[in-house]
Structures are given as C-alpha cells and as structure tokens.
Amino acid sequence: MQPDNAGKPIRCKAAVSKAAGQPLEMEEVEVAPPRAHEVRVRIICTSLCHTDITFWRMKDFPAMFPSILGHEAIGVVESVGDHVHEVGVGDAVVPVFLPQCGECADCVSARSNICSALPYRPGVMPRDGTTRFSLAATGEPVHSFLCVSSFAEYTVVDVAHLVKLDVVGPAPALPPEKACLLSCGVTTGVGATWKVAAVEPGSTVAVFGLGAVGLAVAQGAKMRGAKRIIGVDVNPDKFEIGKKMGITDFVNPNDIAEKTAVSEGWGKTVVLGVDGSLAPISVPSFDIMRGRSVTGSLFGGIKPKDDIPVLAHKYLDKELELDDFITHQMGFQEINRAFDLLTQGKCIRCIIWMDDDYGAKENDGA
C-alpha cells in the first residue's frame, strides 16, 4: 500500500555540494514524487567512496553544481511510480550506479554488465533527463549524482538502479551498514577477481592501492584460491588490515626499485576506476603482443540484480568479510568529517547514518 504522501513532494535534509572542494552544506530540499519506472527511497545509511571525492574536487564537467553526491547506500522503499513491480513499499533496497534493465542485449548477455538501454546521463534521471531535487527555499534545481544521490534523507532512483535485498535486518540477518558496502566498493573489488580476472587457484595476484576496492580485490583473490597476494600501497598502515583480507606480501613502492609485471602469455591487468586527472594509459605494444592483456572493468563486471544478493548470502555464510571495512561511523550532520577522514587516508569506509541521534562512533582499532 502506498503511503499518504505518495505522489506528493517530500521535504528533507540533504548535504549539497555547491562548489568544487568546498564543505557540503546541509540544506532543506524538496524531493519530487517518483515518475514511471522510479522509486522514492528513504536512506537508512550511506558511505563515502573515493568516486564521491573525485567528483567533489572537480571544477568542470562532468562535475555539476549544486548537486547531491553519494552512491553507496541502503534504504527502504517509500513509494513507487507507475510500472514498478519488482519492489514495493517497505522493501529494503540497495541503490547502484550501474543499471540492469534485464531486457537489453547487454543485460541478457553474460559478456557485459553495462546496460545499453539506460546510458548514464550526468546530473539527471536516466529516462527523462530531469532531476527530482530542488532547494526548498528557492526552487533551484539540484543535480543528481550517478543516478543515486544518497547524501539525502530521501532520494528518487530508477528501478533499474535498485537491488532488492530480502536478508537485511538485525543479526543474524544482514545489518544495514554491511549491506551498504555492497552498493559499490566491496562488490567492485570482489567482482573483479570473480568476473573479470577469473583468478585461478594457486595464482599470484598484485593489488595496487589498498583502499576499500583494493582490499576487496585481495579478499576476492583469497576466496578464489590465490596462493600469493601482493598488496602495493604507500601507506604501511594498510598492511595490518590487508593481512585480514588475505594479503601475503606488502610492498611500498617508495622503498624499492623493482617493478612488478604480469606474466607473458596469460598475465592480465584489470583497471578498476580512474584517477582524478583522467590520465591516459600507455602500454608498450611488444608487451601486448607477447600475450599480456589490459582490460577495464566497471563495477567489477558485476550484474547488480543478479550478483549482489549472492554476495549478501556469502556474508551471512561467513565466506565474505565486511565488518573490517567499516572503520568509522557517524551521524549525517558530521558528513564533512567523513570527507576529511577519507581524503587524509585515515579511514577505509565511514558509515553515515541519516539518524543524527546515532551520534559518533568509531570502531576499536580504527
């Protein structure tokens, strides 16, 4: 049953990005009701990803201002638009930046996870090119971000960007803060070892960069049976948590001159994400000719609606570790502190609860 405010705008708090690199401003925004194929979601908690940091720092397109960042979250369906059948009011859902319509040639193929029916449109909803956010005080439109915009108490998401999770709840079910991690970073890393690299038992894997995605790659490689997992990072503090995720050797590139290279004949390099400068990648043709390969991967090759529920069950079956990724937790009003922690390299994942009564909580050993 739809709530009384279905079909009506909702006013709520949102952390709005108004200028590149500047602190987010807590504003009252108006969230329009969902249109056809859309769902309005009440966010329970969200977390901060390096992709949010990258766009927050950008001065030019594709960064857009004002905007509501955030794309890693867990929420509950508040209301649905026409033609929405797979989720209903009260369902726990994970929003994802990558859609899965389930009908286009790419969605029905095992070779691709990039939906061709709903290409990404910066700052707006994927079907009609408009935004569902505006500043309550002035009516000024506010851009969405990666089709999610989870730094708000309520958001509107296309149903193709939502994954229903039936296992979310108090222990022994999947806690919301753990489900939140499956919305982007952990899924990307684990998925890359599973879907893209296809890590084989007994193999050697090198992971460059030990943030949340890199640590998830290490964990995925361990799950796939890799014998040696080399973690490469300039921060030696990452080694202890890395060992928990399966890293067997730690390398600080500032301390050595030796370079790690993939094997001839079958070695594969998987690129996850982009650097802030969008710099080109140069690879000698001779290396490629001798059987090495370089491939990109969006969301670790994961098809969200098919594979995220599988990962949720792997956590419940104690095959997938999520707890150690969460180094900090805090209320919504402290969101700018989360930005400080991540930009300073002092956290892996910071959970931001929409309920400010939650207060600040930092895990032991963070």
Q: What is the pLDDT of residue 170?
A: 77
Q: What is the pLDDT of residue 258?
A: 62
Residues in the chain: 366
- Residue 284 three-state SS: coil
Under CATH, which number does the domain 10-181+324-360 receive? 3.90.180.10
Pick the CATH number of 186-301 from 3.30.930.10, 3.40.630.30, 3.40.50.720, 3.40.250.10: 3.40.50.720
Q: Are 164 and 174 in contact (CB under 8 A)?
A: no
Residue 239 phi, psi (nearest 5): -70, -40
Amino acid at 5: N
Radius of gyration of the CA atoms of the chain, in A: 20
Strand 268-272 and strand 293-297: the pairing is parallel
Q: What is the pLDDT of residue 266?
A: 85
Q: What is the pLDDT of residue 366?
A: 34
Q: Are 172 and 59 in contact (CB under 8 A)?
A: no
Strand 133-135 and strand 25-31: the pairing is antiparallel
Q: What is the pLDDT of residue 363?
A: 42
Cα(305)–Cα(319) distance, integer angstroms: 20
Q: By C-alpha distance, which of 50, 89, 5 is closest to 209?
A: 50
Averaged pLDDT, groups of 10, the chain, 366 residues long: 82 98 98 98 97 93 94 98 97 98 96 96 97 98 98 98 90 91 97 96 96 97 97 92 95 77 87 76 86 92 97 96 96 97 94 75 39
Cα(165)–Cα(93) distance, integer angstroms: 6
> Residue 172: is the preceding peptide bond cis (ω within 30°)?
yes
Domain ranges for the chain, please list them: 10-181+324-360, 186-301
Residue 315: count other Cβ atoms within 10 Å of its Cβ. 20
